[in-house]
């Protein structure tokens, strides 16, 4: 069971983007960073463990992120938002009138950060162990539609060869092995519509779709193991608690659900169990994330809502 805690106020409301919440717990400082997008502004809040002490910061893209005519600037900051350490221009293809944007980000077990784009390209950035000499090392070109989400498997399971998955607006999934030269392991055909959110954990991929279904894939084989009719409407967000394997899903139906995913040791098949349901009344959910790797707390954002709603396990 989870109970609702005191909400965290933010400076401006959440825009209607799926996966519109990021959470970074800083254990040694007893702080948690929350980030929510409103238009071209990133609202950041650092909160103490008890939620009583809050510090706000807003990151504003220069001129809405548009400089040099039709180029959009992608920016990387320190985790607290205090310093911009790198920027990269995304150029609009010639003769194109479509909007240019970056969407979907994942950090691999090694030293790469992958960022999706509206053209379907995935930009792979090499992050040095020290300093800010970030470089664009590779561009992955398997998708033909805008990227919706990217996820990495950061567990220490050495048997999991594939450790990166990307999804796009058409519903195509690409499963990758990261490294100095990224390798495409599987390209999975679209499943009935947009894949809005994807997560990867211990060789298992969870993909949420506009149909309200969650498909569970075996990353090593690129095959579907489980289909879950999770929500009545579009799935807006997924998250996985890295230690417990709990899966959090949120949909346009205003429901949040927690599942447990695991491998059956006897059959080695992937299984899913439902653990909890929460209705966030009159809220169009935009994002939801666990606040800790065990999954003992989670937070949720909603469209046009100037607060982050928190739940804690009891």
Give me the DSSP letters along 262-294: EE-TTT--EEEEEEEEEE-TT--EEEEEESSTT
- Show the tokens assigned to 32: 């948690």
Give the domains, in start order, of the chain with CATH numbers: 101-279 (2.130.10.10)
Q: How far is CA 60 from the centre of its chain?
A: 21
CA atoms in the 13 A half-sphere facing the CB of 149:
27
pLDDT score, position 60: 82
Res 95: pLDDT: 53
How much is the pLDDT for 62?
Answer: 58
Q: Write the CA distances from 176 to 17, 151, 165, 198, 262, integer angstroms.
A: 25, 10, 6, 14, 21
In our burial notation (b when 16+ CB lie closer than 10 A, e otherwise), range 247-283 reads bbbbbbbbbbbbbbbebeeeeeebebeeebebebeeb
Question: In the predicted model, is pLDDT for residue 200 greater than 80?
Answer: yes
pLDDT tens-digit map of 141-172? 999 999 999 999 977 665 668 999 999 999 99
Instruction: Decide which of 245 and 156 is more confident.
Output: 245
Residue 92 binned pLDDT confidence (cut-offs 50, 70, 90): low
Global confidence as pTM: 0.92
Per-residue pLDDT of 258-293, as tens digits, reads 999 999 988 889 999 999 999 999 999 999 999 999
Q: 295, 287, 249, 297: which is closest to 5 by C-alpha?
A: 297
């Amino acid at each position: 069971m989870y109970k609702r805690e005191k909400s965290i106020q933010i400076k401006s409301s959440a825009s209607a983007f799926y996966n519109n919440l990021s959470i970074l717990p800083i254990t040694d400082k007893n702080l948690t960073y929350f980030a929510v997008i409103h238009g071209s502004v990133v609202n950041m809040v650092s909160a103490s463990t008890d939620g009583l002490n809050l510090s706000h910061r807003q990151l504003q893209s220069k001129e809405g992120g548009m400089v040099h005519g039709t180029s959009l600037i992608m920016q990387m900051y320190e985790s607290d938002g205090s310093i911009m350490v790198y920027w990269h221009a995304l150029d609009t293809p010639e003769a194109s009138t479509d909007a240019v944007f970056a969407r979907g980000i994942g950090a691999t077990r090694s030293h790469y950060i992958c960022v999706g784009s509206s053209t379907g390209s995935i930009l792979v950035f090499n992050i040095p162990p020290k300093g800010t000499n970030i470089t664009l090392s590779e561009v992955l070109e398997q998708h033909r539609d805008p990227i919706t989400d990217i996820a990495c498997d950061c567990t220490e399971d050495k048997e999991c060869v594939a450790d990166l998955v990307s999804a796009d607006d058409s519903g195509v999934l690409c499963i990758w092995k990261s490294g100095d030269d990224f390798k495409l392991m599987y390209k999975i055909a679209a499943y009935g519509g947009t894949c809005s959110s994807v997560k990867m954990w211990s060789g298992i991929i969870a993909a949420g779709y506009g149909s309200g279904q969650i498909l569970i894939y075996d990353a090593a084989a690129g095959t579907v193991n489980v289909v879950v009719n999770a929500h009545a409407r579009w799935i807006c967000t997924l998250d996985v608690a890295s230690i417990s394997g709990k899966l959090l899903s949120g949909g346009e139906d205003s429901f949040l659900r927690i599942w447990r995913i695991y491998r059956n040791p006897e059959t080695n098949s992937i299984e899913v169990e439902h653990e909890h349901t929460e209705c966030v009344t009159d809220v169009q959910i935009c994002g939801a994330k666990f606040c800790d790797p065990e999954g003992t707390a989670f937070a949720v954002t909603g469209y046009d809502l100037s607060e982050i709603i928190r739940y804690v396990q009891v």
